[in-house]
A and B are shown apart, each in its own frame.
Chain A
Amino acid sequence: MLTRRIIPCLDIHDKVVTKGVKFQNNVEMGDPVELAAKYYEEGCDELVFYDITASAERRPIDIEMVQEVAKAVRIPFAVGGGISNLADMERVLLAGAEKVSVNSLAVRNPDIIAQGAKAFGNQCIVLGMDPLAVEDRVKCPSGYEITVRGFREHTGMDALEWARRAVDLGVGEIVVNSVDADGTREGFEIGLTGMIADNVGVPVVASGGAGNPQHLADVFNEAHADAAIIAGMIHSGDYTIPQIKEALIEVGIPIRQRW
């Protein structure tokens, strides 16, 4: 049976892992390569790195860091945040990343998904999306609007329509990062995650709101997420990956047990 993936997320700011609430008030959490190696040793299933400032300040991704991570871990990892074209994607993949995550770039230029999928394969291209609950059901029939650039900018795009379109264009996976739940550690946004997972044929990764192992169990059971991103709950030391895995195994979630 395919196991549910647990994916620590490392937001990088000036070569340091940070964590904030809704992209605000970031606190430093440590060295990205050291943290990656630690979580790998503890049995995480995959890793994701976002150069959170790359998008806001339009800086390119730190390739040297990607290379260092690739040397330190023997599991897949995704990189996102500063990808602005096909050449950036190639540099990140050749540095040893398994996947690239596109978010704002894909909103501005959806064709980059098709180009990336054609050049590197669908499995390499991840769509990151930051949907925000909205009242306007005429503009956004699903009840969620896509935001970009660290939630600062509204796009007027419906989240579900965008997810479907991105799959048609060739993304191999979708990370659904709830703007409302991000950084709260009060649980994933089940309704939003489930709506996307129920309506696309590619794996869906839940993101935003993980605070305890039960939150992961809920999003796997109720929203059919294929994977869940965690950050603050492990960066803070409140939980370790083995503790989370043990708790999930206890409630019957299929989890990778040997590493």
Chain B
Amino acid sequence: MIAIIDYRAGNLTSVNLAFEALGIEATITDSPEVVLNAERVVFPGVGAARAAMDNLAELGLVDTIKTVVARGTPFLGICVGMQILLDHSDENDGVNCLGLVSGNVSRFAPTDPYDKVPHMGWNRVRKCKQHPVFDGIENDSEFYFVHSYYPSPVDWACVLGITDYAGITFSSAIVQDNLVATQFHPEKSGSSGLRLLKNFTEWTPA
């Protein structure tokens, strides 16, 4: 069973509907026990980093997440669910995050006034290495993004995919052992996104 973590940080309907479309059973839950017993965990997120971290703490999910990641459960972070895996986010005057991936999250600072913030819409993801979650997805496929902050992992070895926006190239997908995360929303990214979600459900981390 796949657990979709509900930490009151956004709308989980689309994630659930995407798994439904794939015919894969998933449960939306805020229970640490259900998450601990899940075969796979999806950690979505819309909204702000501080609220996300506060809600995780309040629901007793911080240690739960650290435990499932440490023991090798396949884990997928999406959007803010990717960002708060890092050490720190500059959002909301600075927030300490989960620290599962080394790095910081910063706000886009476009020099071109027509690079609007949020970065909203379909942008290309260039694959940096082969990985089962990107099987069958062509290089430079477009995915749906909506965010004002972007993750900068310290270790480039964890970068799976990169995307150009507002004068920079940022990490739009990362992998670290059993943990994958995307800044884009696979659940709203048409057939490429569905393929990525399906790949995730079939992935056995080495």
Contact = CB atoms under 8 A, between A and B. Distances in A.
Contacts of B11: 93-94, 120
Contacts of A74: 18, 21, 187-191, 193-194
A3 interface: yes
Interface stretch (B57-65, B139-147, B175-183): B139-147
A32 interface: no
- The size bracket of the interface on A is 35 or more
A70 B21 CA distance: 11
A173 B141 CA distance: 24
A110 interface: no
B114 interface: yes
B135 interface: no
Interface string A221-240: 00010110000000000000
A71 B46 contact: no
Given A96-B14, A203-B118, A1 B191 contact: no
A2 B47 contact: no
Interface string A171-188: 011000000000000000
Interface of A: 1-5, 40, 43, 45-46, 70-71, 74-76, 93-96, 98, 120-124, 172-173, 197-198, 201-204, 224, 226-227, 256-259
27 contacts: A2-B122, A70-B13, A70-B17, A71-B17, A71-B20, A74-B21, A74-B188, A74-B189, A75-B188, A76-B188, A93-B13, A94-B11, A98-B14, A120-B47, A123-B46, A123-B118, A123-B146, A123-B147, A173-B120, A198-B113, A202-B117, A203-B116, A203-B121, A204-B116, A226-B116, A257-B142, A259-B192
